[in-house]
Amino acid sequence: MMKNKAVATDYGLWKLMAWSGPVFFTLFFFMWGLLADNFPPMSPNLSAEAMKAHYLDKSLAISIGMSVCMVGGAFYMTWGCAVSRLMRRIEGPEGMFSNLEMMGATITFTPIVVACGIWLVAAMQAAVLSAEIIQSMYLLGWMIIDIAYMVTSFQIMGASIVFLKDTREKKLIPAWISWWGWVTIASFFPVSLIPFFKTGPFALNGLFNFWVAFPTWYIWIVAMSIYVIKGVNRIEIEDGAAEAKEDVSNAVSMLATR
């Protein structure tokens, strides 16, 4: 069978993009979490002076962490493209949810890059800015990165709906991950409470809105990444098998016409 190489699936590139998921979550864990000292995040209840002291103290580490995250956040977008393509194999080229997932992943990068940019400048300018400005910048970053959750919810929703519809006997993405996606979406809603609480479980550093909502999402990204990489491998094998079958039947029909 003559196959047009220009429209053939580039499995190598697809796998590379699938691997940008692990790049994203590893980078964020070390650069945003550990290096920039966000485990745990500063309490919104701290005084402006204490926040300024934090940024002065950690200026270099936060500057490096945030600037790396502004670059590395884009891997969420490339990963979203790989997920979207896997979804299209289930819902077909006309499906809307693969678009929703890709847009959701792409736009998720926006609040990340804006918030990290704000925190970067707070760290760079800690010596010359007033404490109240630093405090406002710290909170501004959090409000943007947190309350933009609905974009990511739409991304996860699209993926969960489509991967649950997968009719393969062994689904490309196991059902529990899709259901975990619903858990993640549910855990995001209380994040809307962060402007109203400086302490307690619903503060931005609180038990629920930080220690539950973020790890829930993180688990989804990690689990999804692993199975998307496996999924692309499986699609490659499925396509290969289908092609081989086609080749055999072509050969048979050619022999028959002789």
Residue closer to another protein, measured from CB, 81 or 194 = 194
Task: Give the separation between CA 182 and CA 136, rounded to whole angstroms.
Answer: 33
* Residue 209 CB burial class (10 angstroms; 0-12, 13-18, ≥19): buried
In angstroms, give the least distance from the CB of 107 to another protein.
24
| Of residues 136-175, those binding another protein (CB under 8 A) | 164, 175
Q: Quick one: how many helices (H) and strands (E) in the chain?
A: 10, 0
| Of residues 181-210, those binding another protein (CB under 8 A) | 182-183, 186-187, 189-190, 193, 196-197, 200-202, 207-208
Number of residues that bind another protein (CB under 8 A): 22
Find the binder of another protein among 14, 24, 28, 180 (CB under 8 A): 180
Q: Is 30 in the site for another protein (CB under 8 A)?
A: no
Residue closer to another protein, measured from CB, 87 or 193 = 193
Whole-Å CA distances, 219 to 22, 147, 181, 191, 226? 11, 20, 9, 17, 11
Task: Give the separation between CA 79 and CA 9, rounded to whole angstroms.
Answer: 17
What distance lies between CA 219 and its chain's CA centroid?
11
CA nearest to 236, candidates 28, 76, 8: 8
In angstroms, give the least distance from the CB of 188 to another protein.
12
Q: Is 215 in the site for another protein (CB under 8 A)?
A: no
In this structure, what token pair is assigned to residue 228? 């998307």
The contact set with another protein (CB under 8 A) reads 164, 175-176, 178-180, 182-183, 186-187, 189-190, 193, 196-197, 200-202, 207-208, 212, 216
